[in-house]
Amino acid sequence: MDSTQTHEILPKIQSETHKNQQEEDDDSPTLSPFALDALKEFLASQSISKTFEENPEENNGEIELPLLSEDWRLSQFWYSPQTAITVASEVFTLFSQLSSEEPDVLPSVACISCPTLFIYLKRLYPTMSVQLLEYDTRFEQYGNDFTFYDYNLPEDLPQKMKHTYQIIVADPPYLCIHILLTSALFSLSSRKSEECLKKVAQTIPFLAKPEKNFLLLLTGEVQRDRAAKFLGLHPCGFRPEHSSKLGNEFRVYTNYNPGERLGGWDLEE
């Protein structure tokens, strides 16, 4: 997973990260400022994807934003840069789709306990409206883009956030099961993971805009049945990876059919 209540991370977005965003589009004077910003961000994301394809030898094919070292004792496992960019690109695709359907309404994105994704979204798509719900109060440095969140109090959130978000990405606390752990600890961890997911599943409908919303859940393969039971989600073929090469198999689950993106829905029984 990407985050828990005991995070020890602090974003350090530095100026030396790759700057592939195209900032000029003088040949499109008829586009609105919002459309121009969306076009620039789309071109930036395409440029980053192209870098992966053409220069895989650079940084092992990854464009990485600096983060503090993870601490496995606190269940801190950062996404690999390619995973973060893949999920961020999917969010932007959904964001663009919603924007085209309602040009006068700016879609809102909520990131529940996934600060790595939040950081990449802020960096790659700076005009996107993104809210981080997070237990670690050091993220207060993001000002109004940060909301304190304790999954034990799933609806203890500002009323202004209720039924506001069209796109929600959640990575609920998930305890890593190492092969050397005892069966008793495995059972405890399994129950804890189920509890976390069940409570986050209460937060999501509080946040989600009822008319239309897109939900992405990043969690373990072992949560597959629970993701379907609590949220009606299907797994995708894309397998998220972590910088620490976490042994547990992770999946992305969605409440919508992504088509060929994210590897499509994996409906195999």
Q: Whole-prediction pTM value?
A: 0.73
CB 168 within 8 A of CB 162: no
What share of the chain in percent tops pLDDT 70? Answer: 63
Give the mean model confidence (pLDDT) for residues 76-104.
93
Question: 128: which 2 tokens?
Answer: 């996107």
Q: What is the mean pLDDT of the chain?
A: 77
Q: How confident is the model at residue 37 (pLDDT cuts 50, 70, 90)?
A: low
**């969690």: which residue's tokens?**
219
With cut-offs at 50, 70 and 90, classify the pLDDT of residue 193. confident
Give the C-alpha distances (Å, rounded to integers) separating 236 from 57, 224, 261. 28, 11, 9
pLDDT given for residue 121 in this prediction: 96
CA nearest neighbour of 154 among 167, 173, 128:
173
CA distances from 255 to 53, 97, 258 (A): 29, 16, 9
Question: Is pLDDT at 14 greater than 50 in this prediction?
Answer: no
Q: What are phi and psi of 242, to 5 degrees?
A: -120, 150
Among 145, 176, 143, 166, CA closest to 255: 166
Instruction: Assess whether pLDDT exceeds 60 at residue 239.
Output: yes
- The residue ranges of every structural domain in the chain are 72-262
Task: Kindly report the number of other CB atoms within 10 A of residue 230's CB atom.
Answer: 18
Q: β-pairing, 214-220 with 250-254?
A: antiparallel
Given a cut of 60, whether residue 34 has pLDDT beyond it is: no
pLDDT, residue 78, reads 79
CATH architecture assigned to 72-262: 3-Layer(aba) Sandwich (3.40)
Cβ contacts of residue 14 below 8 Å, gap of 6+?
Answer: 66
Name the least confident of 25-29, 54-58, 99-103.
54-58
